[in-house]
């Protein structure tokens, strides 16, 4: 059976998610060691993630999924992530408060912020035009 690019992306997410859950169930420290290796060089992890995000976005958009639909799905995924992150908010707020005091919040997150602004204005343009 031949799958579309979007179906292939979904398949990768399903397989990666099942592997992660299986490893966390059987040997959680192995997953933590894997995660530490992946994020041991944050700049490389960010760059690879950015490239993969652009590729996934390209295939979604090429398949006829609009930026508005992508943003709507993003809302769904963000809400799912909130379930897991709700217990970590105190730590994250302290981290971001410290960054604000140092004056480096925007310096550290400028690219991330720029990407979100582009997506939000693009989505707004689609909705209003």
**Residue 118: what pLDDT?**
97
Residue labelled with tokens 């639909």: 69
pLDDT along the chain (129 residues), means of 10: 93 97 97 96 96 97 96 97 94 94 93 96 96
Domain membership flag for residue 97: yes
Domain membership flag for residue 126: yes
Domain membership flag for residue 115: yes
**Residue 1: what pLDDT?**
83
Closest CA to 71 of 123, 117, 127, 2: 123
Domain membership flag for residue 46: no
Domain membership flag for residue 95: yes
Alpha helices in the chain (DSSP H): 5-26, 28-38, 42-62, 67-85, 89-102, 105-128
Count: domains in the chain: 1
Domain membership flag for residue 28: no
Domain membership flag for residue 14: no
């Amino acid at each position: 059976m031949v799958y579309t690019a979007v179906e292939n992306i979904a398949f990768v997410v399903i397989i990666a998610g099942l592997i992660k859950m299986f490893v966390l169930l059987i040997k959680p420290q192995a997953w933590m060691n894997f995660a530490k290796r992946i994020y041991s060089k944050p700049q490389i992890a960010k760059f690879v993630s950015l490239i993969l995000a652009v590729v996934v976005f390209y295939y979604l958009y090429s398949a006829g999924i609009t930026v508005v639909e992508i943003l709507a799905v993003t809302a769904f995924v963000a809400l799912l992530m909130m379930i897991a992150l709700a217990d970590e908010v105190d730590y994250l707020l302290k981290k971001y408060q410290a960054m604000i005091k140092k004056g480096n919040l925007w310096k550290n997150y400028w690219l991330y912020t720029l990407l979100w602004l582009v997506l939000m204005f693009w989505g707004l343009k689609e909705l209003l035009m």
